[in-house]
Amino acid sequence: MTTYSGTTGFEGATFVKASFKGATLRFSDVSGVTMRSVDVDGLDIDSHDLFFGSLIVNGVDVVPLVDAELNRQFPGRELQKAQTPEGLREGWVAVQSAWQTTVAGTPPDLVDAHVEDEWSLAQTLRHLVLATDAWLRGAILRVPQPFHEIGQIFTGADEMGFDLSVFRADPPAYAEILAVRAERQRLVTDFLATATAELLAEEREDPWGGDWRPSVGDCVRVILEEEWAHLRYVRRDLARLR
């Protein structure tokens, strides 16, 4: 099948009686797309940014419905939006408990397995190390070079001018991943144990160089969002692999 990459040639286009059956869209902008009288049986949408906008289906914004269902499936997920130190601590305990269940329940032959174009469990844990380094060590604690060498960088980081040389080229052993991940989890636990409302209100810089000026609390909430989102991805893919 033909692959279209880096094109804006479809912006504003109209497709009539066209077939997109089995097509795949990744890292693409479909905001503002209007679909009328379409067959959507089996349409699978996965968007980390879903909850920052709207998705209208038959006149109904389904984003709040999806959010509520995910909160039901993942108890404690709603605390990723907590505004108090107590709420964030409780939310961190909940997501770490959920991760412990997933990691412990994954057989060794699946830790490096992955579905097409997605990360394995091992790679996902490495990415969560990166997320903790960026938002806790980098943004909150202001460590000059906060990243561990086993971190799994996200797609497009090189295009942002990010120095990828800080990361190891060869994939680490799973035991090392678990050890570094556990150490980073302890860092978050220790930070939240003494965090106050005044500290959470302090302003910080976006660790990825954006214009956003997050508070310390915002940085913690990003960590929680990353944890819950990637837990969902991993459980989804492990279910397919099994």
Q: Would you state the pLDDT for residue 197?
A: 98
Cβ-proximal residues to 59 (8 Å cutoff; 6+ apart), any chain? none
* Pairwise CA distance, residues 129 & 181, whole Å: 6
Position 2 confidence tier, pLDDT thresholds 50, 70, 90: confident
The alpha carbon of residue 169 and the mean position of all alpha carbons in its chain are separated, in whole angstroms, by: 22
Average confidence (pLDDT) over 214-238: 98
What tens digit of pLDDT does each residue of 114-173 get? 999 899 999 999 999 999 999 999 999 999 999 999 999 887 777 777 788 899 989 999
Bridge partners (DSSP) listed for residue 60: 57
* Pairwise CA distance, residues 43 & 62, whole Å: 14
Q: Would you state the pLDDT for residue 85?
A: 98
Q: Would you state the pLDDT for residue 52?
A: 87
Choice among 35-44, 54-63, 227-236 with the minimum mean pLDDT: 35-44
Closest to 111 (Cα-Cα) out of 173, 157, 182, 153: 173
In this predicted model, which residue has the larger pLDDT, 182 or 5? 182
Percent of the chain surpassing pLDDT 90: 71
What tens digit of pLDDT does each residue of 51-67 get? 889 999 999 999 999 99
Asked whether the predicted pLDDT for residue 80 surpasses 80, the reply is yes
b vs e for 14-42, b when ≥16 Cβ sit within 10 Å of the residue's Cβ?
A: eeeeeeeeeeeeeeeeeeeeeeeeeeeee
What tens digit of pLDDT does each residue of 14-24 get? 888 888 888 88
Bridge partners (DSSP) listed for residue 56: 61
